[in-house]
Amino acid sequence: MLYLNRKSPLLGDRVQHFTGRVGRVTEVRSGNSTLGFGELAIRWDDGVAASEYAFVNQFSLVSRAAGRVIPRNTLAYMLQRRSKPKDPRNQ
């Protein structure tokens, strides 16, 4: 599962689709054993989040921010904490 320029995908990568559209990777799904291609969820620079997953081999890596990778479980925990209502006694 590699980009067109032979780099492995990571959460937060800035990528360019072969059509020229640029965005950021929001989720990486491992490859299907039949097809062998991994899939990505992309948030495009125009603000639109892709509603369907795209194959990794349709993208080239533009840039990778050092230290910006958040493990999936950590990200889920952070989002759960943000969505819980605050206890008024703790304010």
Summarize pLDDT for 22-75 with one digit per residue, the tens: 998 888 887 655 555 688 888 888 877 766 788 888 899 999 866 555 556 666
Report how far residue 91's alpha carbon sits from residue 86's, in angstroms, rounded to the nearest whole number.
8
Report how far residue 60's alpha carbon sits from residue 23's, in angstroms, rounded to the nearest whole number.
11
CA dihedral sign of residues 53, 57, 58, 64: positive
66 occurs within a structural domain: yes
Report how far residue 4's alpha carbon sits from residue 83's, in angstroms, rounded to the nearest whole number.
37
> What is the pLDDT at residue 56?
87
> What is the pLDDT at residue 62?
92
**Which domain, by its residues, includes 42?**
14-84
Domain count, the chain: 1
57 occurs within a structural domain: yes
Report how far residue 48's alpha carbon sits from residue 89's, in angstroms, rounded to the nearest whole number.
39
Highest mean pLDDT pick, 2-16, 59-73, 75-89: 2-16
91 occurs within a structural domain: no
> Which pTM does this prediction carry?
0.63
> Is 38:1 a contact under the CB 8 Å cutoff?
yes
